[in-house]
Chains A and B, each alone.
Chain A
Amino acid sequence: GAGVSQSPRYKVAKRGQDVALRCDPISGHVSLFWYQQALGQGPEFLTYFQNEAQLDKSGLPSDRFFAERPEGSVSTLKIQRTQQEDSAVYLCASSLNRGNEKLFFGSGTQLSVL
């Protein structure tokens, strides 16, 4: 596609619900990243994929967070048993090669947990 696409744009969940956030990176991009951005803060790293391999998940806040990229293109970030502190904007980014280069970000999914 022309850019990184994320869906849904907005998600409201009741505390305890599971949510799934989708990212469709630029076609052919090897690297895919998930970041979490709280209001008034810079994005914080969650996880990194190189093709279908999840090479780094050190930023995932807890074992309630799970990400996958099974075919090396579309990625899904899943949050189980959501809590209020999970409320944030979740940004997906991709880059052509193995990271450490120009990143292309999607518009994000704004998650609100009530």
Chain B
Amino acid sequence: KQEVTQIPAALSVPEGENLVLNCSFTDSAIYNLQWFRQDPGKGLTSLLLIQSSQREQTSGRLNASLDKSSGRSTLYIAASQPGDSATYLCAVPYSGAGSYQLTFGKGTKLSVIP
């Protein structure tokens, strides 16, 4: 059974700081990994999707890396802004019968202080 762990559970940083969020998973036989953002009372927004053949993906100030062999991914946020405050979740396809079934971590709640 795939298990996903995110550390830290919560993080508070001053505006402008660079930061790293961590995600680890137990079964390295994954097709891809997605990072999502969730604002309070809202659904999830997909930020980045890294295919298993890739090592990283970038979108604006966000950079996600993937190391399948060690079962780890990191989300790097550069020059953080108050608008980045949200919960960030990583998810990998369940390693069982269906690769479409995602297993999520509990998320990292980020607060960027102006």
Contact = CB atoms under 8 A, between A and B. Distances in A.
A42 B43 CA distance: 11
A100 B91 CA distance: 11
A44 B104 contact: yes
B101 A106 contact: no
Given A31-B100, A42-B4, A100-B100, A105 B32 contact: no
Interface residues of A, number: 30
Nearest to A46: B101
A12 B16 CA distance: 42
A29 B77 CA distance: 31
A107 B39 CA distance: 10
Contacts of A43: 44, 89, 102, 104
Contact of B97 (A35, A44, A56, A108): A56
Interface residues of B, number: 27
A31 B100 CA distance: 9
B34 A99 contact: no
A27 B22 CA distance: 34
Contacts of A100: 31-32, 93, 99-100
Contacts of B25: none
B46 A42 contact: no
Interface of B: 4, 31-32, 34, 36, 41-46, 49, 89, 91, 93-94, 97-107
Interface of A: 4, 6, 31, 33, 35, 40-45, 48, 55-56, 58-59, 91, 93, 98-108, 110
